[in-house]
Amino acid sequence: MRRAAIAVILALALGAASASVAIADSGGAAAGKGGHPAEVEPRFQLLGTNGYRLLVSARAATVTIGVTHRSSTPRSGSSTTYVARGTAGPNGIHASFHQFGRVDVKFHPTAEAARGLPPDCFGGTTGAATIPGYFTGTVDFHGQGRYTVAHARRAEGEVVLPPTEQCPLVAGGANPLVEDPSSALPPAKTRMTLAALEKSGTGGLLFVARKAGKTGFYAERFGTVGRVGLLSFDYALGPRSSFASDPQVSFGTVHPPRPFVGSATLRRGPQGKRSWTGDLEGVFPGGERVPLTGPDFRTTLSRSFP
């Protein structure tokens, strides 16, 4: 039961940073075979204030604005993705982000579709292609407390097709827990996974630490603000000493590097009762600090995963 729970949590963690929405297209997409509308993904990037960059992308009725700071790297960083209902297709993107702003743009192709995907996308099994061009219209956005603001009337971008590719929801987002499948892992007894999950209503917090070929940390906060969904991520790689345990798996202590602050320890008492304590916090875009420990978290600690 415990191993199954860890598998579910890690599946969420490993997929979230590169997830793309895969639902039926509507509102402007070209018709496909058999009367089913063809799926495409219009997308473009903008610069916001205070060093943030935005990736606006859409798939059918789901439109996202991914915000990440320019200091983010493949080793560490943070991001927040705003999710709203709208319409999108090869002709543009239209969505209200309510208190955060709106996107209302039209796509203008500048060349024929070229085989291949943008550098940050991967996958595709049916001859994936990209149509280059630019978007015109209105983009108005500001994050909570106006930690970043973006206004644009024109932006270079592309339309990606078909729907079997995967593109990140945020610019530059990378998940450090993903291992190179060709790399050799250390002995199973030295590999460790710690996960802590807190759910409240429609939202929650997830923290995962994993020591395998590398030591990685990942935190996710998910929920809604009004009619807009929010997904915030922190990720970092650290030295092996930043995640300590013992052969009996009686405790796990983590001290992740930035953007995390503080440390935390998961302990198992004599009767098996677990405690998850410490001052560990995730620091999300805008400098918001969110505690990642406490008695309301459901925790797991295990060896040899996978």
Which tens digit of pLDDT belongs to each residue from 246-263? 888 889 999 999 999 999
Cβ neighbours for 111, distance < 8 A, ≥ 6 positions apart:
131, 132, 133
* pLDDT of amino acid 126: 54
3-state SS assignment for residue 184 = coil
Looking up tokens 């983010």, which residue turns up?
72
Residues of the chain with pLDDT under 50: 1-37
Look up the pTM and report it.
Answer: 0.82
* pLDDT of amino acid 157: 96
Cα dist. 203→128, 220, 290 in Å?
35, 10, 13
3-state SS assignment for residue 134 = strand
Phi, psi of 244 (to 5 degrees): -110, 145
* pLDDT of amino acid 177: 67
* pLDDT of amino acid 121: 77
* pLDDT of amino acid 125: 55
Query: What pLDDT digit, counting tens, does each position of 173-216 carry?
Result: 556 667 666 666 676 667 889 999 999 878 999 999 999 888 99
Taking the CB of residue 203, how many other CB atoms lie within 10 A of it? 14
